[in-house]
Amino acid sequence: SSSGLFRGFIATALRDAPHAGIYVACFERAKLFTHSMTETTLLANGAAGFLAGSIASLSTQPFDLVKTRMQLTPSGYPNIFDAFRKIVTE
């Protein structure tokens, strides 16, 4: 059904939009830090990317959990509000 296709869409949007913004902001700040310690290298960019990705993923993980539960168990998590409530009470 078409409703199944979009199950968890709001939780996905609440995860992906902030994740991108947090990642870019953290990556730019981390690049300043890593590049001040060393010349611009693949390792410095990789470290900045790892740090930025870790912070962004940890920050948006609750929305990913809600999205996953809504998609895997639609009858138990019919909407984003019920999903948040049930997860918090569990």
Polymer length in residues for the chain: 90
SS3 5: helix
Name the DSSP letter for residue 77. -
pLDDT, residue 8, reads: 75
* pLDDT score of 37: 67
Over 90: is that where the pLDDT of 73 sits? no
Full-model pTM: 0.73
Q: What pLDDT, on the 0 to 100 scale, is given for residue 74? A: 85
Which tens digit of pLDDT belongs to each residue from 16-67? 899 999 999 999 998 888 777 666 788 888 889 999 999 999 999 988 899 8
Token reading at 26? 């953290």
Q: What does the angle CA 21 – CA 25 – CA 28 come to, to the nearest 5 degrees?
A: 140
DSSP element (H, E) containing 14: helix 9-37
